[in-house]
Amino acid sequence: MAAIFPSEEWLKGLEAKLNSDAHYHDVARNWEGDLLFMIEPEGNLDKLLTFYLDLWHGTCRKVDYQPQPGSYPHPTFTLTSSYNNITSILTGKLNPMTAMMTSKLKVKGSMAYMMRNVPTVLDFVRVAQEVTTEIL
């Protein structure tokens, strides 16, 4: 299932793809951590966009579109980026690891854990790119 980013349909499509993709399941088999994304308004996005994913050992246990930031007070990672930077990652114009290292994608959480799991991070982005057919 592919959909326009950002939308609840896109997030549900990402959840389905994460749970059905054998390569992601294998690469992320040791990943333990939830992600709260905070996408700052810019370009076509006129208000803060939030979405949450609970990722555990190669599966996505839960997603939530537009939760209040306080709904998940202690996520393993909070990822903050501008709309233009996140869409550049989704279209392959910006490498996610470069985005993290240059603070175009700010990471609150253990950067050491993220660096030990670069293959998982990159494969998560691959799956997200595959479900993104159009950018708002």
- All structural domains of the chain, each given as residue ranges with its CATH number in brackets, are 3-135 (3.30.1050.10)
Contact (Cβ atoms closer than 8 angstroms) between residue 85 and residue 105:
yes
Q: What is the DSSP letter of 20?
A: H
- 80, exposed or middle or buried, with CB in 10 Å at 0-12, 13-18, 19+? middle
| CA nearest neighbour of 24 among 122, 132, 131 | 122
Handedness of CA 16, 19, 23, 24 (dihedral sign): positive
What does the alpha-carbon distance between residue 29 and residue 61 come to, in Å, rounded to a whole number? 13
pLDDT of residue 136: 85
User: Distance of CA 22 to CAs 31, 35, 52, 117, Å?
Assistant: 15, 21, 22, 17
Query: Helices in 21-107 by DSSP H: which ranges?
Result: 22-27, 83-90, 96-101
Q: Give the pLDDT of residue 61.
A: 97
Distance CA 136, CA 124 (A): 21
Bridge-based pairing state of the strands 3-5 and 59-65: unpaired
Residue ranges of the chain with per-residue pLDDT less than 70: 1-2
| Predicted local confidence at residue 30, as pLDDT | 96
- Provide the whole-model pTM: 0.94
Give the per-residue pLDDT at 116: 94
